[in-house]
Structure 1
Amino acid sequence: MNNVINYNNDKGLLAYIQFLAASALKPRNGNTDPIFDFEDALDQTEMAQLAVNELKKIPEVNTLFQERWLPAPLDLDELAKLPEGTLGHIYAREMKARGFDPYFFKKVPVVDDISYLKMLWRSTHDIYHVVAGFDTDAIGEIGLQAFVLAQIPIPISVMLVSFGMVMISLYQPTNFNDLMTEIARGYRLGSQTPGKLIAQKWDQFWDFQVSEIRTSLGMGTVDHNLASIP
């Protein structure tokens, strides 16, 4: 690919430094735009193309790339009416309880495989929290990124795990041990789960029990000592 960032091109490093600086300015009132801007900057790295290449080796994921599948529009109120324990019910309950917008993420036009991967990841990310059992606070988020990193080589997950370690050690050092415990738990659980989260057409599973989904993915026991989402 053209204009690949490497050691002779400092744009990637500059984007990372700017991201760290922007993230250190508190409060940001939950603004996640810098994260998505940083992810966009990673488009021009060799790692981004390698991630696509590796993912397309997985037949189920390659099918998603060919179809350009993205989740159908959802209604939290309708999902909340599904039976307790189902993916849709738990997802709607947690999103509403936290005041989260399912469409909070930055949208980009799908013009190639890299932009499609970003939209696939962004539009299904919150579902991963429910299925894998990670909280939505800062430490839970990094734990989930470690889970994803163990399953698939998405560049933003690599960067957010490293970023989380830097930021927690600098600004919340008393939480560093908890962070490393969650990273280890996430990576271990992701490594031991053969079913790839990114390979699923999640809007087909709203009325499935989360326990059933975890079993079908081959996911081991989810430790709820650190995760508040069932």
Structure 2
Amino acid sequence: MSYSQTLRLPDNASLFTRLRVAGQCLKGLKNDPTNPTYGQTFNLSLNGNVYASLVQQLQRSEEGRRLLSKRPSLEAKELDLAALERLPAGTLGHEFARYYRDNKISPFETTLELKSDVDYLSKRYRETHDLQHVLTGYGTDVMGEMELQAYVLGNLGLRTTMFVLLNGTLGQLKAPQSGVERSEYLRRVWAAYRRGRASPQFLDFWFEEHWETPVATLRARLCAPASA
């Protein structure tokens, strides 16, 4: 049995248990950074309470209840990227498929059983990461990833994004890796955080029903304007 297969986050885990499991995930990610189980379990162990609060918010709206009931999926097995790329340029489907092609990556796939709405939101968040790159316009380089983490921190308040930002920012201040000066880095991260705070929460949006909608239209609907 592999190390990742021994990881387990019990139902209603205590803070101590969640931190312990998160530490195990980080240890595993150092040796196997692309392992999906580590990333998913790390996300759930630190963000479980945040997702539980988001579930309560979603249950108060018809659209939120529909999402939790139907549980739409953006996993690789649910996507026909070739068909999406044939949609007109500028549409969400076309730009989403092109994003994967240009970056030579594949859509997210889960390895965890979905036992609750909290588990589903954890999965949904990870699946929408690449869509948020497309919608916000933040790149996939170091600077762009930090901007997106700051945006999500402002939008959803996920603890994992705070963890990534703190580590990335400390590294940036010690030895810049993003290709921008420290002051510019901090300005852009702060602007992305404020943009996320000003934007509608995105987890209850049915992206699957908007493949033919122009990205510009969805960006105006879902994202506050980016600071100059």
Category of TM-score, reference length = shorter chain: 0.7 to 0.9
**Uncovered stretches (5+) of structure 1, i.e. residues with no partner:** 226-230
Q: Which residue of 2 aligns with 1:164?
A: 165
Q: 2:121 aligns with which of 117, 124, 144?
A: 117
Deviation at 1:113, TM superposition (A): 1.0
* Secondary structure at 1:198 match in 2: coil
Specify the SS of the correspondent of 1:70. Answer: coil
Residue in structure 1 matching 2:175, options 155, 173, 176: 173
1:28-71 CA distance string (max 9 Å, x none): 5655543223124347x544423322343454223211332334
2:213 is aligned with 1:211: no
Identity percentage of aligned residues: 25
Q: Per-residue deviation at 1:137?
A: 3.0
Q: For 2:193, which of 187, 195, 198 is the aligned residue? A: 187
1:64-115 CA-partner distances (Å, limit 9, x unpaired): 113323348222121111111111111111110111111x332333321111
Structure 1 counterpart of 2:210, one-letter code: F
Alpha-carbon displacement from aligned partner over 1:160-191 (angstroms, at most 9, x marks no partner):
33233224524863248355334312221112
| C-alpha spacing 1:141/1:60, structure 2 compared with 1 (3 Å) | farther
Distance 1:15 1:111, change over 3 A: closer
What is the letter of the counterpart of residue 173 of structure 1?
Answer: A
Q: Distance in 1 between matches of 2:64 and 2:220?
A: 20
Amino acid at match of 2:190: A
Aligned partner of residue 199 in structure 1, secondary structure: coil
1:53 equivalent in alignment to 2:56:
yes
Give the secondary structure class of the aligned counterpart of 2:73.
coil
Structure 2: state its 5+ residue gaps.
1-9
Structure 1 pair 182/58, CA: closer, same or farther in 2 (3 Å)? farther
In the superposition, the TM-score normalised over structure 2's length comes to: 0.76
Relative to structure 1, the CA distance from residue 46 to residue 79 in structure 2 (aligned partners, 3 Å threshold; closer, same or farther) is closer
Deviations 1:190-229 (A, max 9, x none): 12223x3212111111111111112233x33346x9xxxx
Q: Does 1:12 align with 2:18?
A: yes
Compared with structure 1, are the counterparts of its residues 18 and 113 closer, same or farther at alpha carbon in structure 2 (3 Å cutoff)?
same
Q: Distance in 1 between matches of 2:126 and 2:82?
A: 21
The answer to whether structure 1 residue 97 and structure 2 residue 106 are counterparts is: no
Question: Superposition RMSD on alpha carbons, in Å?
Answer: 3.1
Distance 1:167 1:147 in 2: 14
1:82 and 1:210 map into 2 onto residues whose CA distance is 12
Provide the aligned length of Structure 1 versus Structure 2: 212
